[in-house]
C-alpha cells in the first residue's frame, strides 16, 4: 500500500511532467476551437495529417472523422496520456488513424502535408518552427493553436480568429 504513491509519481506523473517540459503541459484544445479548425483545415484525400502532442486525442479524433479519406497520425510523448488517446481511439475512432508514442523532435516532418501543434511559444519558436521550415515538403502547412509564428515568416502566415477567439495561425512552407 505504501508503494502506491511513489509508483504513481514515477510511472504516471513523472512522464507527464517530462513531456510538459519538452513542448507543453497537457492542456487540451477547446472543443469549439476544434470545430473552427475543421472548417479551415485544408486536407485532401490521401494527405497526411500529423498532430504533435495529441493529448487525449480529441483533435485527431475529430479530424479523422471529418476527413475519412486522409491519414491521421497522432503522436504523444507521455505514455500515460498516449494510453488514454489509444483507448479513446479503440472506442470511438475511425480506421484512418495511427497512434504513435514518441518525441516530436525526433520525427521526420517531411512525411506530412499538414501538422497541428499546441505548444509553448519558446519551444515552438526555437525548435518546432525551424524544424518545420527545414524539413517539411513544399506547400505543407503547420497549424499553431493560440501561439503566434515568428515575424520573419509573416509572408507565409495566415491567422484565423476574432478578438474574442483563440487564434489559429497557419504557416505554409513555400
Ligand atoms: C498543450 S497539450 C495539447 C494536446 C492536444 N494537442 C490538444 O490540442 O488537445 C501538449 C501535448 O504535447 C505533449 N508533448 C509534450 N512534449 C512532447 C514531445 N516532445 N513530443 C510529443 N508530444 C509532446 C504533452 O504531453 C501534451 O499532451
What does the pLDDT average to over 129-157? 97
Mean pLDDT for the chain overall: 96
What percent of the chain has pLDDT above 70?
A: 99
Q: Which domain holds residue 103?
A: 4-172
44-92 pLDDT per residue, tens: 999 999 999 999 999 999 999 999 999 999 999 999 999 999 999 998 7
pLDDT computed for residue 162 by the predictor: 94
Rounded distance from Cα 25 to ligand 1 centre (Å): 7
Cα–Cα dist 113/43, whole Å: 8
Residue 93 has pLDDT above 70, yes or no: no
Question: Contact 71/44 with Cβ under 8 angstroms?
Answer: no
Domain count, the chain: 1
Sequence-ordered alpha helix ranges (H) in 3-150:
4-8, 14-22, 31-40, 58-66, 79-92, 121-123, 129-135
For ligand 1, is residue 23 a contact (CB within 6 Å)?
yes
17-34 pLDDT per residue, tens: 999 999 999 999 999 999
Q: Which residues contact 160 (CB under 8 A, 6 or more apart)?
A: 36, 40, 167, 168, 169, 170
For ligand 1, is residue 18 a contact (CB within 6 Å)?
no
Residue 3 has pLDDT above 70, yes or no: yes
Residue 170 has pLDDT above 70, yes or no: yes
* pTM for the model: 0.97
- Please report which confidence band the pLDDT of residue 94 belongs to, taking 50, 70 and 90 as the band edges: confident
What does the pLDDT average to over 88-117? 94
Question: Contact 107/136 with Cβ under 8 angstroms?
Answer: no
- Residue 149: which CATH number? 3.40.50.150
Residue 108 has pLDDT above 80, yes or no: yes
For ligand 1, is residue 22 a contact (CB within 6 Å)?
yes
- Please report which confidence band the pLDDT of residue 1 belongs to, taking 50, 70 and 90 as the band edges: confident
For ligand 1, is residue 81 a contact (CB within 6 Å)?
yes
Q: Whose CA is nearest to atom 2 of ligand 1?
A: 26
pLDDT computed for residue 91 by the predictor: 87
Amino acid at each position: 500500500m505504501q508503494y502506491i504513491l511513489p509508483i504513481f509519481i514515477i510511472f504516471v506523473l513523472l512522464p507527464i511532467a517530462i513531456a510538459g517540459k519538452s513542448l507543453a503541459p497537457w492542456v487540451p484544445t477547446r472543443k469549439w476551437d476544434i470545430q473552427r479548425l475543421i472548417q479551415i483545415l485544408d486536407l485532401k484525400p490521401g494527405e497526411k495529417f500529423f498532430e504533435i502532442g495529441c493529448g487525449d486525442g480529441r483533435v485527431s479524433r475529430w479530424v479523422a472523422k471529418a476527413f475519412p479519406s486522409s491519414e491521421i497520425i497522432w503522436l504523444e510523448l507521455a505514455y500515460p496520456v498516449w494510453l488514454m488517446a489509444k483507448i479513446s481511439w479503440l472506442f470511438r475512432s475511425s480506421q484512418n488513424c495511427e497512434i504513435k508514442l514518441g518525441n516530436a523532435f525526433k520525427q521526420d516532418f517531411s512525411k506530412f502535408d499538414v501538422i497541428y501543434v499546441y505548444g509553448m511559444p519558446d519551444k515552438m519558436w526555437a525548435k518546432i518552427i525551424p524544424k518545420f521550415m527545414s524539413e517539411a515538403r513544399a506547400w505543407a502547412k503547420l497549424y499553431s493553436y493560440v501561439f503566434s509564428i515568428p515575424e520573419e515568416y509573416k509572408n507565409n502566415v495566415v491567422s484565423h480568429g476574432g478578438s474574442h477567439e483563440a487564434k489559429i495561425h497557419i504557416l505554409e512552407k513555400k
